[in-house]
Structure 1
Amino acid sequence: MTRNINYDLIRLLGLLIIMVAHSSPPGWIFQLRNFGTPLLVIGSGLTYSLIFASRKLEIKAFYKKRLPKLIFPAWLFLTFFFLALYATSVVSDFEFPFSNEKVIESFLFMGGIGFVWVFKIYIILSLITPLAVYLDDKVNNNLKYLSSLLLLYIGYEIAVYLITPLLTGVYSTVFNSIIFIAIPYTILFLYAFNLPSLKKISIYFISISSLFIFIVLAYLKYTEAGYFVHTQLYKYPPTLYYLSYAFFAVNVIYLILRNIKISNDLTNSIVIWLSSNSLWIYLWHIFAFYIWKFASIGEIDSIVPVFVGKIFFMITFGIVFTHLQNTLLNRLPIENTTWKNKLLPLLTNKK
């Protein structure tokens, strides 16, 4: 398989845009970048479509490799993160900021500290990858494929409208945190598998249609509320107002990035390293977020210089600590086969 650096860029950009949201950006920046999760989903779909275009997917082997690669690093980081904060609270006047419930929810990727939900998205995408590969292989008619996805999405919107008012307690959690998250992002993931086969004019049409829907909905909500309504309010669960803007943005970004040619070897290697290590960079940026927060640096939110400083600090912290982690672990004089072949690949980008 020939690696597609453009897909690396799309996945990396999706994760970075999500990290920007954690940097207290001004409202207009927060809205402009409010397509990070769909872009991450599209990037993942494009990557898997390329990988399994020339390789047979062995479902059991895929799950056995992919799911631990997602779950184990996140759990390990969370364990270190909570223990570090607890130890700090014991030896200082610092109060441990999380309840037992928050800690448990974090390990379940169901809320908690509020950052690890992205792993839930990755797990969902991994679970449906065999289905996506099968459909991509069996359905060769683009119109039929996209029409089926559109009908599925319409059914999802109807279900959200009818079912959401009836949900309470644990049912509300299951539907709003799992089912009504899995369905729209599954549709986006399936769309990504079909995206490389679409003609440019078709993608233009899809982008313009999505933008038109968003503008109409934005106008209707503006006339009702008297001010511009942010799409973030319609992200949990994702519905048409949020998704129409995001779908427009991700298609435009795909059109732009797919034509980029990176011939410089150094630039290529940097992009590949960042993309390959993006999940650990993301995890370490959580630590940076709380360092900034507890140092009281970020008391003033939504000010551009503060926002720029915060995102620079978090991304730099994530990159530096990921690099240090990779360097230290790869230099450990451990010859154990289990460590080298199973554990080390989970903790670094080493294959």
Structure 2
Amino acid sequence: MTNLKELENLKNSTLRDRDIRFDILKILGIFSIILAHIIPRNIFFHIRNFDVPLMVIVSGSLFYCSSYKKNYSLATYLYKRIPRLIAPVWLFLSFYFISMYIAYSLFNKHYPYLLTKDIINSFILLDGIGYVWVIRVFILMAIISTLILNLYRYLKDKKLFFIVLSIIYIVYEILFAISTNINLDSIPLLSILINKYLFYTIPYGCLFGLGVALPTMKQKSILIIGGLFLTIFLGLTGYLYCVQGVIPLAQTFKYSPRLYYLSYGIFMSMFAFTLVDTLCKKYNLNSQKNLVNKSIIFISASTLWIYLWHILFLYIEKLLVKNNSSLNSNYVGIFLIITILSIATTLAQKIIVSGVIRKNKFGQRYSEILSILFLK
């Protein structure tokens, strides 16, 4: 059982050791994802379409920063990490489907969610109600995280590490091309394993590997990588324009992620990192302990629950917009409201649960379970 002193020591250690750059980038990523669920598919929707690659790269960097001095076995790490990811998601989904059932029953309306298509698929992080596929990506990254870190340690040389990642990615593209000529839909389970798991694990795993190397990379190397993938993106844009007659959208190549989508994501992520790194050095943000820094750290450490709560508020917003067309065009206001509500609900949740753990015998007895469910 985790006692209160251990929790406080962990909190203080986290505040000392955090790299505020990655917290800022993580917030940029989660806000961009929330924004994508609100705004129409205009130019701003496509500009911010680097959100998931950025989040995956940052998760690799944070994993490196927290684990490079440790020797986790895969089983030990997964035992600690997976419950922290999946338990809050399942708790939220249970609350969501039950509360929606009660609400529809009270208003005597037809419950819109089907058992297999919506509910079960949501719990196994497939399509379901939507929005949960991102959680699947991060669980997959958790599963392969120690393997990527051990590969990075074993190869020692960053150039060799990037060459290996490039070879792995090329193999993925070959496998993807082969799969398009095979009718996998005739074998549903195999189709799900390949299209929803394998074809997400490999490309995002390569981005996770880039994130692992990022904290110790020199600025020159970061600029070279950013420039390389900008060149690839522009080259593919030109090629696809010649073939299709229109400028392609990165969103088209997102499910499963292809090079056109990923090259844009990597370029923008390197650009964002360079910008944030410059600002942090200029204003010495890592050494400050003011309210702004504490807020940044809180939001960064709470992205899972902020993301989950935004799903509920997004559903409520859609009902309001459906019945009030005047709200339809106020996307900035809707984004701010949903984001603020999600952060405020997460803050209230953490304050209440932390208080229960400190002051209540039940909370003290089950502090570890409550922390996993509500405080991660």
Any residues of structure 2 matched to 1:307-346 within 5 Å, and which? 307-332=331-356, 333-336=359-362, 337-346=364-373
Comparing 168-177 with 241-250, greater Cα deviation is found at 168-177
- Matches of 2:136 and 2:164, distance apart in 1: 25
Structure 1 pair 209–301 and aligned structure 2 pair: CA distance change class (3 A): farther
**Are the equivalent residues in 2 in contact too, given 1:15–1:282 (CA < 8 A)?**
yes
AA paired with 2:301? Answer: S
SS in structure 2 opposite 1:255?
helix
Residue 219 of structure 2 corresponds to: 200
Of 73, 81, 86 in structure 2, the residue corresponding to residue 66 of structure 1 is: 81
Any residues of structure 2 matched to 1:135-174 within 5 Å, and which? 135-169=151-185, 170=188, 171-174=190-193
1:18 aligns to 2:33 (yes or no):
yes
Comparing 121-130 with 87-96, greater Cα deviation is found at 87-96
Deviation at 1:58, TM superposition (A): 4.4
Structure 1 pair 287–313 and aligned structure 2 pair: CA distance change class (3 A): same
- Matches of 1:334 and 1:342, distance apart in 2: 14
Any residues of structure 2 matched to 1:1-351 within 5 Å, and which? 2-101=17-116, 102-169=118-185, 170=188, 171-259=190-278, 260=280, 261-262=284-285, 263=288, 265-296=290-321, 305-332=329-356, 333-336=359-362, 337-349=364-376
Deviation at 1:5, TM superposition (A): 1.1
- Matches of 2:291 and 2:206, distance apart in 1: 36
Per-residue CA deviations over 1:225-263 (Å, capped at 9, x if unaligned) read: 333221111111111111111111111111222231323
Structure 1 pair 214–49 and aligned structure 2 pair: CA distance change class (3 A): same
- Matches of 2:365 and 2:142, distance apart in 1: 24
- Matches of 1:298 and 1:311, distance apart in 2: 18
Number of residue pairs matched by the alignment = 348
- Matches of 1:338 and 1:126, distance apart in 2: 28
Structure 1 pair 313–302 and aligned structure 2 pair: CA distance change class (3 A): closer
Per-residue CA deviations over 1:6-51 (Å, capped at 9, x if unaligned) read: 1111222212111111013342111101111110101100001111
SS in structure 2 opposite 1:111?
coil
**Are the equivalent residues in 1 in contact too, given 2:237–2:248 (CA < 8 A)?**
yes
Comparing 258-267 with 287-296, greater Cα deviation is found at 258-267
Deviation at 1:301, TM superposition (A): 11
Deviation at 1:62, TM superposition (A): 2.2
Deviation at 1:298, TM superposition (A): 8.3
- Matches of 2:120 and 2:210, distance apart in 1: 34
AA paired with 1:276? Answer: A
SS in structure 2 opposite 1:241?
helix
Per-residue CA deviations over 1:127-179 (Å, capped at 9, x if unaligned) read: 11211221222221121111111111111111111122214221332211111
**Are the equivalent residues in 2 in contact too, given 1:121–1:182 (CA < 8 A)?**
yes
Deviation at 1:93, TM superposition (A): 3.7
AA paired with 1:166? Answer: I
**Are the equivalent residues in 1 in contact too, given 2:229–2:263 (CA < 8 A)?**
yes
- Matches of 2:184 and 2:145, distance apart in 1: 31
Unpaired runs of 5+ residues, structure 2, are 1-12
Structure 1 pair 160–312 and aligned structure 2 pair: CA distance change class (3 A): same
Deviation at 1:282, TM superposition (A): 0.5
**Are the equivalent residues in 1 in contact too, given 2:87–2:372 (CA < 8 A)?**
no
- Matches of 2:227 and 2:249, distance apart in 1: 20
Unpaired runs of 5+ residues, structure 1, are none
**Are the equivalent residues in 2 in contact too, given 1:211–1:245 (CA < 8 A)?**
yes
Structure 1 pair 249–301 and aligned structure 2 pair: CA distance change class (3 A): farther
Deviation at 1:334, TM superposition (A): 3.1
Per-residue CA deviations over 1:90-137 (Å, capped at 9, x if unaligned) read: 110433222112110000001101111111111111111211221222
Comparing 151-160 with 290-299, greater Cα deviation is found at 290-299
- Matches of 1:346 and 1:87, distance apart in 2: 23
- Matches of 1:40 and 1:194, distance apart in 2: 15
AA paired with 2:57? Answer: I
**Are the equivalent residues in 1 in contact too, given 2:57–2:207 (CA < 8 A)?**
yes
AA paired with 1:41? Answer: V
- Matches of 1:126 and 1:34, distance apart in 2: 23
Comparing 286-295 with 192-201, greater Cα deviation is found at 192-201
- Matches of 2:176 and 2:326, distance apart in 1: 33
Deviation at 1:264, TM superposition (A): 5.2
